[in-house]
């Protein structure tokens, strides 16, 4: 045993990049493991308190608001990692300050626009997706989350680039704890659907405001006390930044339509009961995949550093080892769910929710593949190729949305699950292949230079 520990220590000492990724992932993993338990608890108590239909209505309200916000998001967190990471690596603090300044300004303005747009389209969401006008004030109420997250993406990007993952982990844990506490209390006190929405809103407010405050503190230390006075003339080429942000926005919008709007599609074609079952399937899958989620956050800055420094061997080694780790967990989860999943749903959520099991297993196949190769899109972004994910996601989105009008009405939530799984398989395989080709091309080009 001591010999094994010694070998692991030597292994990590030799691979400083993976060691840093694992250390930062450990912070997020610790908080998300606890958050996983809390998320599971709140899902169970919310489902038992509300029943299938109301549980589905909550899913529609929260997804509708979140997706309006994503529609106007320019993924400023990815912009920060791409450009702030580069400037800090090259010790250009003035340029770094200008990058953060423009990112936060853009995100704040687009958040205000998103909130105004939400108020305009909320009646349509209530009428045609929730099919219940009582959902209108719920959508408007939960819309406060957009304002609370006005500079969330930029702030989170700052914390990640400056290596403050432990701070992010603490914030995640705090919001999970408060949300779960409110929902459990609502269950025992016979609370209403508004109590559950309030619990989710409190979590959103904590996630939005806390990173903003802490990012300001750390920027003063890593840049200078008056970093926000940096001249806009210090910015990287404007055309390059516009292309990057627009591409990431469009990629994010396509991803939102395809994989993050599932309750809305099911609500439009079916009913709230179907949404409740499908939301349960998603609420089971997402926590199961969560242990790997921190790797997406922690590996992106490391991949970007490797690309900027042209450390191709280091990049390949990092990808292989992260894939092995994610595959091990995904295979383990799949076996557990195949053997005991149906029984666990019946015991924990009640027999009323057991019809969600087939959709859960179908989704597990797609999410599992995406989980194993979680780095597929981040790798392309590290190369600055934000347009490639856009094209791949767009083609897959057209196929999925087009088929939805036939598949979901005919096959219900299982059909919706198959469409999402097929979309994951197509996009992941294509983007992984392109990313590996880019690494091989860059290696050959570097060898020719030498």
Cβ partners under 8 Å of residue 338, min gap 6 = 361
Are residues 301 and 411 both part of a single domain?
yes
267 falls in which pLDDT band (50, 70, 90)?
Answer: very high
Cβ partners under 8 Å of residue 120, min gap 6 = none
Are residues 312 and 427 both part of a single domain?
yes
Here the tokens at position 394 are 């767009």
Q: Is residue 241 part of a domain?
A: no
- What pLDDT digit, counting tens, does each position of 206-218 carry? 999 999 999 888 8
Are residues 144 and 286 both part of a single domain?
no
Q: Which residue bears the tokens 């589905």?
A: 56
Are residues 166 and 58 both part of a single domain?
yes
Q: Which residue has the higher pLDDT, 149 or 18?
A: 149
DSSP string, 213-238: HHHHHHHHHHT-TTGGG--GGGSSPH
Are residues 261 and 155 both part of a single domain?
no
Are residues 422 and 303 both part of a single domain?
yes
Q: Is residue 5 part of a domain?
A: no
Are residues 219 and 299 both part of a single domain?
no
Q: Is residue 419 part of a domain?
A: yes
Q: Is residue 190 part of a domain?
A: yes
How far is CA 283 from its chain centroid?
14
Q: What pLDDT does residue 108 have?
A: 93
Q: Is residue 267 part of a domain?
A: yes
Cβ partners under 8 Å of residue 317, min gap 6 = 15, 17, 18
Q: Is residue 365 part of a domain?
A: yes
- Say whether pLDDT at 11 is over 60: no
Q: Which residue has the higher pLDDT, 191 or 246?
A: 191
Q: Which residue has the higher pLDDT, 57 or 32?
A: 57
Q: Is residue 117 part of a domain?
A: yes
Q: What pLDDT does residue 258 have?
A: 79
Are residues 210 and 292 both part of a single domain?
no
Cβ partners under 8 Å of residue 322, min gap 6 = 18, 21, 295, 299, 374, 375
Here the tokens at position 73 are 């998001």
Its domain, for residue 174, covers 24-236
Are residues 440 and 362 both part of a single domain?
yes
Number of domains the chain is built from: 2
Q: Decide: 345 and 353 in contact? Cβ < 8 Å.
A: yes
Q: Is residue 248 part of a domain?
A: no
d(CA 406, CA 134): 29
d(CA 29, CA 34): 8
Q: Decide: 420 and 408 in contact? Cβ < 8 Å.
A: no
Buried-state track 423-438, b at ≥16 Cβ within 10 A, e below 16? bbebbbebbbebbeeb
Q: How many residues does the chain have?
A: 450
Overall average pLDDT of the 304-308 stretch: 82
The percentage of the chain sitting over the pLDDT mark of 70, rounded to a whole number, equals 90
Q: Which residue has the higher pLDDT, 379 or 73?
A: 379
Q: Decide: 71 and 253 in contact? Cβ < 8 Å.
A: yes
Q: Work out the number of other CB atoms within 10 angstroms of the CB of residue 8.
A: 10
Are residues 222 and 76 both part of a single domain?
yes
Are residues 158 and 230 both part of a single domain?
yes
Q: What pLDDT does residue 447 have?
A: 61
State which of 206, 236, 266 marks the end of a domain.
Answer: 236
- What pLDDT digit, counting tens, does each position of 337-377 carry? 999 999 999 998 989 999 999 999 999 999 999 989 988 88
Would you give the DSSP letter of residue 237? P
Measured CA distances, 131 to 123, 136, 239, 268, 273 (Å): 10, 10, 43, 8, 12
Are residues 171 and 285 both part of a single domain?
no
Would you give the DSSP letter of residue 130? S
């Amino acid at each position: 045993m001591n010999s094994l520990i010694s070998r692991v220590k030597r292994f990590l000492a030799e691979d400083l990049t993976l060691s840093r990724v694992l250390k930062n992932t450990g912070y997020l993993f610790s908080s998300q493991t606890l958050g996983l338990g809390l998320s599971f608890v709140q899902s169970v108590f919310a489902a038992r308190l509300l029943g299938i239909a109301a549980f589905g209505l909550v899913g529609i309200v929260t997804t509708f608001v979140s997706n309006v916000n994503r529609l106007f998001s320019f993924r400023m967190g990815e912009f920060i990692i791409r450009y702030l990471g580069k400037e800090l690596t090259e010790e250009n603090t003035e340029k770094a300050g200008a990058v953060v300044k423009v990112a936060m300004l853009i995100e704040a303005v687009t958040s205000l626009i998103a909130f105004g747009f939400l108020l305009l389209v909320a009646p349509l969401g209530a009428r045609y997706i929730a099919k219940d006008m009582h959902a209108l004030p719920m959508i408007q109420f939960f819309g406060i989350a957009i304002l609370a997250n006005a500079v969330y993406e930029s702030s989170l990007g700052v914390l990640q680039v400056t290596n403050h993952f432990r701070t992010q982990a603490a914030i995640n844990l705090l919001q999970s704890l408060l949300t779960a506490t409110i929902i459990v209390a609502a269950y025992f006190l016979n609370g209403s659907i508004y109590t559950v929405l309030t619990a989710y809103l409190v979590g959103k407010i904590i996630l939005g405001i806390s990173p903003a405050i802490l990012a300001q503190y750390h920027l003063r230390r890593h840049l200078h006390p008056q970093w926000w006075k940096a001249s806009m003339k210090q910015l990287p080429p404007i055309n390059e930044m516009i292309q990057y942000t627009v591409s990431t926005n469009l990629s994010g919008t396509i991803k939102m339509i395809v994989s993050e709007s599932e309750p809305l599609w099911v609500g439009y074609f079916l009913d709230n009961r179907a949404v409740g079952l499908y939301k349960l399937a998603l609420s089971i899958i997402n926590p199961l995949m969560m242990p790997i989620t921190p790797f997406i956050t922690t590996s992106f800055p490391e991949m970007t550093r490797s690309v900027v420094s042209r450390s191709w061997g280091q990049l390949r080694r990092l990808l292989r080892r992260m894939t092995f780790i994610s595959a091990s967990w995904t295979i383990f989860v799949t076996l557990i769910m195949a053997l005991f999943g149906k029984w666990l749903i019946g015991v924990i959520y009640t027999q009323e929710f057991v019809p969600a099991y087939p959709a859960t297993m179908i989704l597990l196949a797609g999410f599992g593949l995406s989980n194993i190769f979680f780095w597929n899109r981040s790798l392309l972004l590290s190369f600055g190729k934000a347009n490639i994910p856009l094209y791949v996601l767009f083609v897959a989105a057209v196929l999925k949305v087009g088929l939805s009008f036939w598949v979901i009405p005919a096959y219900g939530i299982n059909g919706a699950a198959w469409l999402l799984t097929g979309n994951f398989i197509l996009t992941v395989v294509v983007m992984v292949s392109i990313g590996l080709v880019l690494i091989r091309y860059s290696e050959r080009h570097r060898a020719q230079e030498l």
